Structure 1
Amino acid sequence: MSPNALIPSHRKPRRPSASSRALRAGVTGGFLTLAVTGATVPANAAEKPVAETQEMPTITTALATSAAKSADTAEQVAFNYERQALQDSAFSKAAKAAEKHKAEAVKKAKAEAKKKAEEARKAKEAAQARASRSSERSTLSAPSSSTATGSTATLVSFLKAQLGKAYVLGATGSSAYDCSGLTQAAFKQVGIDLPRVSQDQSTAGTQVGLDNLQVGDILYWGSAGSAYHVGVYVGDGNFIGAQNSSTGIVERPLNYDMPTGAVRVL
């Protein structure tokens, strides 16, 4: 036995340090308190205040729920931004498409309007052309007697002076005529000798169409070279002739008895 074994120690018993006490205390107030107790720490080592101990937060249910909500909120915000971007893109595309369709519609409408205007212009020109041709035909088929000048005026004046006289077959004037006798006597007034009978008078001049008559043209009924009746065109769509024994010498419109043809000797 050691001679010092029974000698009581004068050293004070070692008190546990503050860090050791904190470690033994465990979890305090929801935080895990960690303290390191050194085995070789001398008894008289200065103890650190409790405030200097390191604490780490403990993940509680409330904290986890809050973090989850924050994540959901961030995800929803991101989704909203993405959806808004898609909507903006769709609206932009739709607006561009609508503008393109509008431009095409305007272009098509202008083309249609131009086409209709062109068709209307052509129709108007065609109508004017038809009216002009009709007017020309009317003028040619019924020239005015006022165009009779010189020899034609003398011819017409003689024929009008014979109106009302009798028709007598074979007569050549001056109180009665047959059809060819009247035309022969009339043209003799202007120095033209016509054949005696209507068949020969129908080929005595240049053949002309009934739509191109002039005052003084000889009208005939039947065919050229074998006509059975003659008269003289005096203008305004009328002719003078010795028609028959019932009517004598008369002035009639062409449509009273439309002739077959005409010859021009003046």
Structure 2
Amino acid sequence: MELEVLLWMMMVMMMMNLMGRAAAQSNQYSRAVDWLSRYGYLPPPDPLTSKLQTKEGIEQAIRVMQRFGGIQETGIIDSETLKLMSTPRCSLPDIVGGEEMRRRRRRKRYALSGLKWHKTDLTWSVHSYPSRSNVSPEQVRTLLAHALKTWSDAAPLNFRQLLGDGAAGGDIRVSFASLLHNDGYPFDGPGGTLAHAFFPGLDEVSGDTHFDDHETWSYRGFCGAAVGGGPGHRSQSIPVALGETYSWFIPPSFSTQ
């Protein structure tokens, strides 16, 4: 009798364990699909028009995401894919519409938006500074100047900082903000998304660069992010590319002296 009870208890525990794993996997899958929608790999579902996600569509989206992130294309949400999804990154979508998706499939290294500056002399200003880091306002301005010089050395662009009364304007306005900050792309607190920059254009936020103020920015971390978030530039996440989506770094040739 005791043996039967023991076996029954073991079976119940095994079933509970399997049910717990299934629930965890289901939750993991749901969060991954939400991530794919957030960053442009999947269109948002629309139950009113019966446009729901399909297994084939999700698998294809995972493959494109894996290709974009430089990991093996499996079409399944494996450990490497989950690791990439949890890596701090830019908060803007990687994929912008069907044409962008087709460009990704052709494995182009850079994806240009079609928007550009129609002048070569650009102004920039800093509207707010980090509130929870050891990077001083002076260091922020110095690092931004170095970052923009990296771009002006490689492109026919000149950058001039606006100070004093003119600091409220500028073609490129830099600010540190948290959570909802009136641009349609809220930050998510510490970790996760780090920063985003907007293409040139006529919108209010065109050309602007925003850093997540909930992050504890270090001198080196901010320097790499500033270099990566180039003016009007968007690049695929390739380990040697400026403007990487998933990780921030300073190119070996970049000097902060």
TM-score calculated relative to the size of structure 2 = 0.29
Larger Rg: 1
Q: Which protein has greater RCO, CA pairs closer than 8 Å, 6+ apart?
A: 2
